[in-house]
């Protein structure tokens, strides 16, 4: 059985041609706040490591170098309150999008299996579930799937894209307990964990699914996915990893070895350097924080409402008059600002405004919104 046909699943950004044309026709030019694609230069500490590892005649290790696996375990202990992670329970991935897309199939799921994903979500969860031939179930309510023996996997995404909402320890524990009861695997996509803005997350950190307060110290049936794309401005490197249940990681590593799903050696070296340096992450966070403050104030001054958005790289924007997300996105587009209407994520009442643009473009967006 091959990957299932996705030809009837529209690629999200292909479906906003109308507002893209409107935004593009603005005399001041287009400001693209529709995608979370980093624009700041890759930090020197990361680039130097990539360059130093550029002599790479041999095949890299699918499982990751010992130095990289060690750096991931140390990062979990230092940054995520997850002590004692076994470096063998780590697997680098070629960015996290391929992982999100392939994981249901790599976990041997298929027709008849149900995979839960967040009610309003990054579209690749559904693409990957459908590619495996499994059935997606969009819900944030554990009661919708607790006790069901056809549910084999549960995606959680905290901080969430597009909503910016964070799941606390208790909410994660409820998911873990319900999944354990039916033998389902919980996979937690935590790629915005270093970008928390509001209390308590900004000071205390965003809880990981592997946090002992969530899982009692056992990682059985649990996987955390993390990406360096945003925290280190290296989306172009394709650098991410998975960690957690050692048996699942061993099985996934074996399959990925056979298939050649390997992170290039220079990227593994760059990841090791990035995960060992907290300074550039703090600086990047400051940069996004300043953009967020400026944009958020302008959005609110323009009479719009920001929901969620406690963490992550987006403002999740609604209108007090209940206008649809597409109408709000059109309003932005008339000012030359392209945003991502919520229907791309399964919500008709918001548009998503990304913080990933240069300071100059954000300042331009703020002045266009202020004129509004
Ligand atoms: C929730 C979520 N998961 C995964 C990704 C993929 O990131 P990458 O493939 O750059 O690691 C993104 C990118 O925006 C995302 O928002």
Answer for the pair 206, 311: CB distance below 8 angstroms, yes or no.
yes
What does the DSSP 8-state code read for residue 305? Answer: E
Q: Answer yes or no: is pLDDT of 372 > 90.
A: no
pLDDT at 10: 80
pLDDT at 213: 98
Q: State the Cα–Cα distance between residues 125 and 3, nearest whole angstrom.
A: 15
- The residue to mutate among 96, 128, 187, 316, having the most atoms of ligand 1 within 8 angstroms of its beta carbon, is 96
Instruction: List, for residues 43-71, the tens digit of each pLDDT value.
Output: 999 999 999 999 999 999 999 999 999 99
Q: Kindly report the protein residue whose alpha carbon is nearest to atom 14 of ligand 1.
A: 36
Instruction: List, for residues 168-212, the tens digit of each pLDDT value.
Output: 999 999 999 999 999 999 999 999 999 999 999 999 999 999 999
Decide whether any atom of ligand 1 lies within 6 Å of the 122 Cβ. Answer: yes
DSSP labels, 80-96: SS-TT--GGGEEEESSS
Decide whether any atom of ligand 1 lies within 6 Å of the 291 Cβ. Answer: no
Q: Which atom of ligand 1 is nearest to the CA of 35?
A: 14
Q: Answer yes or no: is pLDDT of 13 > 90.
A: no
- Structural domains of the chain ordered from first start: 12-41+280-371 (3.90.1150.10), 45-277 (3.40.640.10)
338 bridge partner residues: 32
Instruction: List, for residues 71-104, the tens digit of each pLDDT value.
Output: 999 999 999 999 999 999 999 999 999 999 999 9
Q: Is the pTM of this model over 0.85?
A: yes
The angle, 0 to 180 degrees and rounded to 10, between the axes of the packed helices 97-106 and 124-131 is 30
Q: How far is the CA of 235 from the centre of ligand 1 (A)?
A: 9
Decide whether any atom of ligand 1 lies within 6 Å of the 79 Cβ. Answer: no
pLDDT at 12: 76
Q: Answer yes or no: is pLDDT of 1 > 80.
A: no
């Amino acid at each position: 059985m091959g990957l299932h046909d996705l030809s009837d699943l529209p690629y999200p950004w292909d479906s906003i041609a109308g507002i893209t044309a409107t935004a593009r026709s603005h005399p001041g030019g287009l400001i693209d706040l529709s995608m979370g694609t980093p624009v700041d230069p890759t930090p020197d500490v990361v680039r130097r490591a990539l360059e130093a590892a550029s002599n790479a005649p041999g095949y890299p290790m699918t499982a990751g170098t010992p130095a990289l696996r060690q750096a991931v375990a140390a990062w979990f202990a230092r940054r995520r309150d997850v002590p004692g992670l076994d470096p063998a329970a780590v697997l680098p991935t070629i960015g996290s999008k391929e992982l999100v897309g392939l994981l249901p199939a790599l976990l041997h799921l298929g027709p008849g299996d149900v995979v839960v994903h967040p009610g309003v979500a990054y579209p690749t969860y559904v693409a990957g579930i459908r590619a495996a031939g499994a059935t997606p179930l969009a819900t944030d309510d554990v009661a919708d799937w607790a006790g069901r023996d056809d549910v084999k996997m549960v995606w959680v995404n905290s901080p969430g894209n597009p909503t910016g909402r964070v799941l606390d320890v208790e909410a994660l524990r409820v998911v873990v307990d319900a999944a354990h009861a039916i033998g389902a695997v919980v996979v937690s996509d935590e790629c915005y964990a270093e970008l928390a803005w509001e209390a308590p997350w900004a000071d205390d950190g965003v809880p990981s699914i592997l946090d002992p307060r969530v899982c009692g110290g056992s990682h059985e049936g649990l996987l955390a996915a993390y990406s360096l794309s945003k925290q280190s401005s290296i989306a172009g490197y394709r650098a991410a990893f998975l960690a957690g249940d050692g048996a699942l990681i061993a099985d996934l590593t074996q399959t990925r070895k056979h298939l050649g799903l390997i992170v290039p050696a220079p990227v593994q070296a760059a990841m090791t350097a990035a995960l060992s340096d907290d300074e550039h992450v703090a600086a990047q966070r400051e940069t996004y924080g300043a953009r967020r403050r400026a944009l958020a104030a302008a959005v609110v001054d323009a009479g719009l409402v920001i929901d969620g958005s406690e963490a992550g790289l987006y403002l999740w924007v609604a209108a007090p008059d209940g206008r649809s997300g597409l109408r709000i996105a059109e309003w932005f587009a008339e000012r030359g600002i392209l945003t991502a209407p919520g229907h791309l994520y399964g919500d008709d009442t918001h548009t998503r405004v990304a913080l990933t643009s240069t300071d100059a473009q954000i300042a331009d967006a703020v002045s266009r919104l202020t004129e509004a």
